[in-house]
Structure 1
Amino acid sequence: MKRILLCAFVGAAGLTLSACKQPFNDLPEFVRGDVQHTRYDGVTDDLLTAGLGASGLASTPAPAFVNPLNPEPAELRRLAIYNNYRALVDTVPGGGFGTFFGPQVGVGGEGLIPGDEYIAFMSVPGTEVPVTVMAQVPDSFDPEQPCMVTAPSSGSRGIYGAIGTAGEWGLKKGCAVVYTDKGTGTGAHNLATNTAQRIDGTLTDAAEPVQFRADLSEEERASFNAAWPDRFAWKHAHSKVNPEADWGRHVLQSIEFGFYVLNEKFGKELGNGATLRTIHPKNTVVIASSVSNGGGSSVRAAELDTEGLIDGVAVSEPNVNPEVDRSFTIRQGSGPVITEHSRSLLDYTTALAVYQGCANLAPAVRDTAPLNAVFNSPAVGENICNSLANKGLIGGATLEDRATDALRILNEEIGIQPEQNLLAPVHFGLAVAQSISMTYANAYGRAGVEDRVCALSLGATGAAGAITQLAPAAEAALFATSNGIPPTGGVSIVYDNADGQPTNLAASASPSSNQPDYGLDALLCLRSLALGRNAETGAPLDGAQDELATAIAGGISQVRATGDLQGKPTVFVTGRADAILPINHTSRPYVGLNQRMEGKKSNLRYYEILNAHHLDVLNGFPGIADRYVPLHHYYFQALDLVWARLTDKQPLPPSQVVRTVPRGTIATPLTEANLPAIAPEPADGDRIVFVDDQLRIPE
């Protein structure tokens, strides 16, 4: 009766709520446990910079702990924000920080933002594995003109993994920002000690809520430790739930959590313990956003949105795995017609893991790829080439011939654009493809740590690559130092079947070669699982490996994007030189698929940025700074454009190539001449169009 009377009150008051289906502000059922609330004054601490300010984020060394073995939650948060911001944004002077982007830009001072932060665990139906959700409400938020921005974490990062991207833009705009770690994050379970991270990053071995513990009984854990001591289980890899399948739902739930928080703070109290929801989707501008995996998550959320929670989408370099539709092709300029687009993340990433170490030595990239010699051993690269040749996977009589053939396979057979070749070596040296291959094979197959897929496990290793215990101070800091996907924070990928003994994968000699070839046997095993057949011979897989490959294929099918954005105004910005998420398998085919799904009703715009790539943080290094510009700048433009479309009815510019101008040397600061704006009316030669079943990209 009370609900009926209050619904009548709502109608009489003329308030537009969610059809009176949910007029009262109730804690969403998916929230697990308490919601923790912290107030930040914007002087000693704040929402965006953890009190460091713009200068603190740009300076070194990193913030330190008073007690390195037992850091306080506030210290962990500060270091997490510092590391997550700097991992995605170039803070080196001259690269745009403080001029085109940064906490201080547009607001003055150090960019400290006062407000409230709310954090909790949540789960999606079908699993109790905790996912972290957080809402930040700046003091500048206007309940009369409410707005919200989603900030799911980039990569496999934790809850602050989009703080410097969607977080910065949204907080400075005066919007609530809602974050989720998407079921990734650190979530490191020390199997030897049973220690794991609480929601605030502090460690515990007690039976209490933590970010992740492996699904093992005490007996199973003891047995595993006896066989494989000093190992870790990691949330993204070993939760057995394929979190990516629910990334869109995580974002939608974060929005619902955001509305709960806003109405707790601003809703109309009725005097009987109930609060009327006065801030809701119909009167709030909601932009789904973020970059990389976070961007892909927001795209999936827009596809799944049946409740009208999202008004528009603005994402950068989104990790989308479009459903395979070969009825359309892709062509850049007068280059080859690309028909084999839309490969899965695991497909192209395992190919990079297998072949890139050899391709690094191809004359076309060997001496010109920046940081190649810094991050990669020529001797290991030669061993990889020899092993691949001995297995019949590449041809050539000389090392240069073999390396050139490996590069050819990546470009011509896998569909890696040549513009990505110069950055691929540094990514191989940073173990990007190797770590993604290991983590996602486990996640897609819903494998547990005990399965040791392809004889790979996780643990700290010493100088010679042998397993050792992780230093206590390093483990205490993992919440703040880990990017969520080993190798990270002192934890390495270990090849348990390496010649001699379990060894850090990068230093491993394969049993088939007895040579240090980056554990190529293990990487080929992962490639076989991605292909569903033996990567060396093409033969069918046997027994348990075939079963796992089938499970992985099923997991990949669960993460495929439909291309249906339901007409929502949407902007993608992607760098043509993206060497982590190749554009022929991500943004480009998604645009084509969207045209297939929505046609003339589509409101998706795609801006491909020349001389831009995936990790702007690398732009702080000589050799990269002179060649590339910050994609981050265009991501903020994408948000501005979607905001203008939603609030002022401004049209979105047509899809186009943006022709940036590299600065030539790290000593020359970027100016507006280097970073032309996305054009309201681009020249015909710059327009990206979908014509005659082909997505055509200007050269």
Structure 2
Amino acid sequence: MMRNSLMATLALALAACSSMPSRTPQEQTVYQAQRITEHRGSDDLLSAGLGLDGLRAMTPPAFADAAAPTALELRRRAIWNNWRGIADLSLTGGYGQVYGSVAGAPGREYSALLRLPQARQPHRVVLQAPDNFDTGKRCLVVTASSGSRGVYGAIAVAGAWALPKGCAVVYTDKGAGTDYFDLDAQVGVGEDGRSVALEQGELAFAPDAPVGASGVAFKHAHSQDNPEADWGRHIKQAAEFGLAMLAQAYPQAAPFRFDNTRVIAVGISNGGGAVLRAAELEGDWLDAVVAGEPNVQVEGAPSLYDYTTEAALLMPCAQLHLPADALPQPPLRAQVEPFWTARCASLKSAGLISGDSPQAQAASAYELMRAKGWTDAALTAGALSTGFDLWRAIAVTYASAYGRFGVAEHPCGFSFAAQNADTRARAATPAERSVWWSDGSGIPPGAGVGLIDGKLSAPDFTFNGLQCLRALNSGSDDAARRVQQGIAQVRAGMPRKGLPIIVVHGRDDGLIPPAFTSDPYVAQAKAAGSAVSYWQVQHAQHFDGFLALPAYGARYVPLLPYVYAALDRVSAQLDGQGAASDREIAAQPRGAGAVSAEQLQLPR
């Protein structure tokens, strides 16, 4: 791998700018790649040379030196982690046989740290330019990571569809990602993923932290940018960078512009929300959009923060009302039931539910959530988020992001750090720091970084902190107003009329319930005259990566094949083969067997 700091060829950039139609000032920016790397032979763009068997391996690719991995080792491990976090790669899951591909895709990567105007922190972008790029049918797929993942967080979504077809892909971490910063050691992450001391070079994230701050900071929570408010602009800037780098990769076919290159945006979860935000931007720069299980908020619907903090408080108790055999495993009912029963008692003492017995209290919590719009399907699939304490992790991070709070300013006193076995905070080791970029999900806990809650107390350990987080949603103090202002800034507008869009959502989604997101978005977009098609998939929940767990794989279908099918559909539509339409897809779970095409009922 060669590490270069290169500026796009000046004459080529000037030629591209002079021949571009006048649209927006950003489209005339001269972009440069900070690093260009080649990936061929035992390495490639799509799987870092691991192939399907290597991605399925239960242990991550090893480092020669655990405390100082190379950029190539970190990239391979990041790709391994992101594939496994998004796709069901289990032997019975059907990936690579029924749908999807990890076929070798040799080519080059162009990487950079870009910054939106007025942003405090950059976002990562990577263009993957495959050797089989079809200059006669030039295609660029632009995508954003799901969740708060690093820049490869959509490789299983966009790369797996685009690269085998000869399309280039440009990724952005949309201002989140895994660029953690060690406040004790003053060490962050460089552009190539390796640990870099603050005084030694440019970092992908350097927080504005008080002197003597301790623990770990990360970009989504501590950038003070509220990145979600700019997700659409992150997508567009990434697309602009992608076009500029295509001109550098294939100079014989330059210039590459929005009016001579097909640009399709795709993403799932937060990435799905990002591409819908991009769809509302002015201009005809996008040709089509596919949004899977999008985190999108529209006027009149509850916000992510609203239903997340609601679920964090109420769902453990409400799930006790469901039959013991209704919840998929994990969580193991016998292990969690004492904690969930304690939550019921806490809710009753706080006056949030009624009932004189755990059973009556669980019924009260259940009826309250049902009245708020939660379905039985969402409550059932939500057991995963309850069992892994995901609701609290999301709420802590988003409270900080929405309020633009800096390090050590969290209104409920939460912080992040490496932890001892007794959960006390401690300084991180070099070996722990070395894997934050490749192994982290972008929202701790995970990858050796823990969530520090100063309000923990028995018997319902997390209740006090959750009450504080919930109060930010409707309170009137300064901290609550800041959070509420940030929430208002992420509300989506309507997409450009005539832009082909397919929204794909599982009806059993328990993390981003369609009743709060896709349902109202599609209804409002259609009422506004937008060309939105809605594919609703029966028996699909939010996390394909967890379908490798037998209880989840038996009862749920993967969502990724429908995202790929939607990409096929909008591509055919752009080729003049008819518009997409709404679909209610009667998919059937595989049970104890393996996934088959007949069960998936994929649209054609």
TM-score, reference length from structure 2: 0.93
How many residues align structurally? 592
Separation (CA, whole Å) in 1 of partners of 2:265 and 2:277:
10
Aligned partners of 2:70 and 2:196: how far apart in 1? Answer: 13
> Within 5 Å, which residues of 2 pair with 1:529-608?
529-530=472-473, 532-533=474-475, 541=476, 546-598=477-529, 602-608=530-536
Give how far 1:675 is off: 0.9
Question: What are the residue-to-residue correspondences of 1:34-45 with 2, within 5 Å?
Answer: 34-41=33-40, 43-45=41-43
Tell me what 1:521 maps to.
464
Q: 1:578-612 CA distances to partner (integer Å, 9 max, x unpaired)? A: 111011111000011102222xxx31100110000
* Deviation of the 1:17 alpha carbon: 4.5
2:226 pairs with 1:242:
yes
1: distance between equivalents of 2:326 and 2:532?
Answer: 39
Is 2:2 the counterpart of 1:71?
A: no
Q: Which runs of 5+ in 2 are unaligned?
A: 1-10
Query: 1:291 & 1:645 partners in 2: Cα distance?
Result: 21
**Among residues 97, 109, 113, which one is paired with 2:105 in the alignment?**
113
Question: Using a 3 Å threshold, how does the CA distance of structure 1 residues 389 and 95 change in structure 2: closer, same or farther?
Answer: same
Determine the C-alpha separation between the residues in 2 that align with 1:358 and 1:516: 14
- Secondary structure class of the residue paired with 1:389: helix
Partner of residue 397, structure 1: 356
**Bigger Rg over Cα:** 1
Cα deviation for residue 417 of structure 1 reads 1.6
Alpha-carbon separation, structure 2, partners of 1:191 and 1:496? 19
Question: What do the CA deviations read for 1:71-104 (whole angstroms, capped 9, x no partner)?
Answer: 1110000000000001010000111112123434
Are 2:589 and 1:658 equivalent residues in the alignment? no
RMSD: 2.4
Contact 2:226 2:402 in 1 (8 A): yes
Alpha carbons of structure 1 residues 17 and 566: separation in structure 2 relative to 1, 3 Å:
farther
Superposition pairs for residues 143-182 of structure 1, below 5 Å? 143-182=135-174
Shift of the alpha carbon at 1:470? 3.1
After the TM superposition, which residues 73-92 of structure 1 pair with which residues of structure 2 at under 5 Å, given as runs?
A: 73-92=71-90
Cα 1:360–1:137 shift into 2, 3 Å:
same
SS of the residue corresponding to residue 34 of structure 2 reads strand
AA of the residue aligned to 1:370:
Q
Identify the range of structure 1 (278-287 vs 235-244) with the bigger mean alpha-carbon deviation.
278-287
Q: For each residue in 1:527-573, what CA deviation from the matched residue of structure 2 results, as whole angstroms up to 9, or x when unmatched?
A: 1101x23xxxxxxx4xxxx1121111111111111123322011011
Aligned to 1:271: none
Q: Structure 1 pair 102/60, CA: closer, same or farther in 2 (3 Å)?
A: farther
Alignment match, 1:253: 237
- Corresponding residue for residue 381 of structure 1: 340
Q: Hey, what's the Cα distance between the residues in 1 that align with 2:15 and 2:129?
A: 26
Distance 1:575 1:119, change over 3 A: same
Q: Which amino acid is the alignment partner of residue 593 of structure 1?
A: Q
Q: 1:660 to 1:22 in 2, by over 3 A?
A: closer
- The one of 249, 269, 290 aligned to 1:265: 249
Taking a change above 3 Å as real, the CA distance of residues 376 and 147 of structure 1, as seen in their structure-2 partners, is farther
Aligned counterpart for 2:124 among listed residues 116, 126, 132: 132
Q: 1:568 to 1:470 in 2, by over 3 A?
A: same
Gaps of 5+ in 1: 1-5, 105-110, 226-230, 269-275, 325-341, 499-508, 510-514, 534-540, 680-699
Counterpart residue number, 2:21: 19
Cα distance in 2, alignment partners of residues 22 and 297 from structure 1: 20
Aligned residue identity for 1:497: K
Task: Using the TM superposition, give the Cα deviation of residue 677 of structure 1 relative to its aligned residue in structure 2, in angstroms.
Answer: 2.3
- State the partner residue of 1:93: 91
Deviation at 1:323, TM superposition (A): 2.3
Partner of 1:372: 331
Q: Which residue of 1 aligns with 2:3?
A: none
Deviations 1:44-96 (A, max 9, x none): 11101011112111122211101101111100000000000010100001111
1:367 Cα shift? Answer: 5.5
Cα-to-partner distance string for 1:598-629 (whole Å, 9 max, x where unaligned): 2xxx3110011000011011111111111111
Q: What CA deviation, in whole Å up to 9, does each residue of 1:174-227 have, x standing for no partner?
A: 1110100001011211111111111221112232211212202xxx321x34xx
Provide the C-alpha distance between the structure 2 equivalents of 1:180 and 1:451, rounded to a whole number of angstroms: 27
Q: CA deviation at 1:34?
A: 4.9
Q: Which residue of 2 aligns with 1:215?
A: 208
Measure the CA separation in 1 of the matches of 2:88 and 2:335. 23
TM-fit CA distance, 1:650: 2.4
Aligned with residue 282 of structure 1, among 256, 259, 263: 259
Instruction: Check whether the contact 2:100–2:561 (CA below 8 A) recurs between aligned residues.
Output: no
C-alpha contact 1:16 1:282 (8 A) present in aligned 2? no
Cα drift, residue 365 of structure 1: 5.4
Among 347, 370, 393, the alignment partner of 1:435 is 393
Assess if the C-alpha contact under 8 Å between 2:315 and 2:379 holds in 1.
Answer: no
Runs of 4+ in structure 1 off by over 4 angstroms are 20-23
SS of the residue corresponding to residue 149 of structure 1 reads: strand
Please say if residues 360 and 366 of structure 1, whose CA atoms lie closer than 8 Å, have aligned partners that are also in contact: no
Alignment TM-score, normalising by the size of structure 1: 0.81
**C-alpha distance in 1, partners of 2:299/2:239?**
26
Contact 2:290 2:567 in 1 (8 A): yes
1-structure distance, mates of 2:421, 2:362? 28
Give the secondary structure class of the aligned counterpart of 2:359. Answer: helix
Match of 1:481 among 433, 439, 442: 439
1:21 is displaced (CA, Å) by 7.6
